[in-house]
Amino acid sequence: MKVGDRVRVKNLDYWKTNQGETLKRPKKLLEQVGKVIDINLGIFKVEFPELENTFDYFDGRELELFDTYCKQTVDLVFVSWQQKGKSVYDKEGFDWLFTGDLHRGVIFKAVMELGDEEVERIKRAEKEGIKPVFDLIIRPEDDRRKNRREC
* CATH 2.40.50 applies to domain 6-65: no
Side-chain-side CA neighbours of 135 within 13 Å: the count stands at: 8
The whole-number pLDDT of residue 85 equals: 77
Q: CA 96, CA 104: separation in Å to the nearest integer?
A: 15
CA of residue 131 relative to chain centroid, distance: 18
The whole-number pLDDT of residue 42 equals: 84
Q: What is the 3-state secondary structure (H, E, C) of 39-87?
A: EECCEEEEEEHHHCCEEEEEEHHHEEECCCCEEEEEEEECCCCEECCEE
The whole-number pLDDT of residue 81 equals: 83
Kindly give the parts of the chain with pLDDT less than 50: 143-144, 150-151
CA of residue 36 relative to chain centroid, distance: 15
pTM above the 0.85 mark? no
Query: What are the structural domain ranges in the chain?
Result: 6-65, 70-143
Q: CA 71, CA 145: separation in Å to the nearest integer?
A: 13
The whole-number pLDDT of residue 151 equals: 47
The whole-number pLDDT of residue 144 equals: 47
The whole-number pLDDT of residue 78 equals: 85
